[in-house]
């Protein structure tokens, strides 16, 4: 199963063009869009990020992340990444972990079992409903963590680009 997770993760990285390794956590107080490519926004370190216009319009990946988070993650982690009595607030995790650590936890899962805590995150590397949208989920949670996107369903969003549509179809098969 881990081999499949690794293959899906590698395919996802190839599909969505991630490059480089982060030196550490992104400074959540200063998320700057360095460039936009085909409807996706990135930092200067090629890390996916969000974009919220002055009128509140959010980028398509953040909107998609809202939808995917609420279909796959909110049952354990609570609505809008706020956390629950069962699992931590992922809006905070997206700020505390760097992109690659966040990606690794989702793909491979994680277990922390000791006298102080018991935390088990299942691996989602075999789930295309998560893997095909992991960047979207990440940018949505990052935007929630910085309060750039308020709670609730986003009211205004950019249009989905043809490239995003094609990548989605290729990933889902």
Beta-carbon neighbour count of residue 172 at 10 Å?
11
Task: Identify the CATH number of the domain defined by range 2-21+33-172.
Answer: 1.10.760
Write down the pLDDT at residue 29: 40
Write down the pLDDT at residue 81: 77
Write down the pLDDT at residue 86: 76
Going from the first residue of the chain to its last (173 residues), give the mean pLDDT of each consecutive group of 10, the final group possibly shorter: 46 41 37 90 95 94 94 84 76 86 93 84 93 96 91 93 96 91
Taken in order 81, 121, 22, 3, the sign of the CA dihedral is negative
Q: Contact, 89 vs 100, CB < 8 A?
A: no
């Amino acid at each position: 199963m881990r081999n499949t997770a690794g293959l899906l993760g590698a395919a996802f990285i190839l599909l969505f063009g991630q490059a480089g390794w982060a030196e550490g956590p992104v400074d959540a107080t200063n998320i700057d869009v360095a460039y936009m490519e085909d409807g996706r926004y990135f930092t200067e370190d090629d890390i996916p990020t969000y974009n919220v216009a002055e009128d509140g319009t959010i980028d398509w990946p953040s909107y998609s992340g809202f939808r995917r988070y609420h279909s796959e993650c909110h049952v354990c982690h609570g609505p809008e990444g706020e956390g629950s009595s069962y699992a931590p607030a992922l809006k905070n995790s997206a700020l505390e972990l760097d992109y690659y650590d966040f990606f690794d936890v989702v793909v491979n899962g994680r277990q922390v079992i000791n006298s102080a805590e018991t935390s088990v995150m299942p691996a989602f590397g075999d789930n295309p409903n998560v893997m095909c949208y992991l960047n979207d989920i990440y940018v949505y949670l990052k935007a929630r963590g910085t309060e750039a996107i308020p709670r609730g369903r986003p009211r205004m969003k950019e249009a989905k680009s043809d490239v995003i549509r094609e990548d989605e179809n290729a990933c889902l098969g």
